[in-house]
Structure 1
Amino acid sequence: MGKKARGKARPKRVDIIEKDGSATGDFERVLRDIFDRFDADKDEKLSQEELNCFARACNDGVPFSADELSEIVTYFDVDEGNRLTFQGFKELMVTQSCSRPEDTWRDLERLGRTSD
């Protein structure tokens, strides 16, 4: 006989990345909800302050470093004011999901988004 699982069962994980490396439709909808949650001024962009609110929510209160913010502005879609667009946020999360999927699942769990 097998042992009983202890504690709370983990929710079943679904695919979040398509074979072509893009976000699945479900993952994109979750990302849109998360983006909107942290877009405090509802301008469809994430400012440095809004990005750091997202980072603190995912990383035990730790904001992005100056180097991390610089990389985000360099590699992902931003507007003329260096604010991250939804497309850039999606690119950021897909990049993380392809290279470090466990980090993405941890972030989703911390944001309460694993049971949709």
Structure 2
Amino acid sequence: MTNIGDEIKEMRLARRLTQSELADRSGLSLSSIRSYELGYRKPKKESVDAIMFALKQQPVVKVPSVASAQVHSQEIATVDIALDNVKYLWKARVLSKQQVNVMRDLVRSLVESD
């Protein structure tokens, strides 16, 4: 089972940031980032929010695995579409790499037009 520190580290590395860069962007100390990633300390909600904002990420939401998912219509999952190590589904069908790229381009154009 992964902890919040592992998830922070995974997202930081996916964005090719150092711990120091994440500390600067989030306004937290380098020692706090290190302690969270190593599991020595558990971050408070405010710290998690600052880290997620610095990573341009929604707050962490657990997404059930495809094999065991019984997703109900009222559940909402947040997934960072910039990550490549995620299977993207539409109505239980896996999207192709080309479809995912089209989706990313569409979202990018919507976000950048603001």
Q: TM-score, normalised by structure 1?
A: 0.28
**Higher relative CO (CA 8 A, sep ≥ 6), structure 1 or 2?**
1
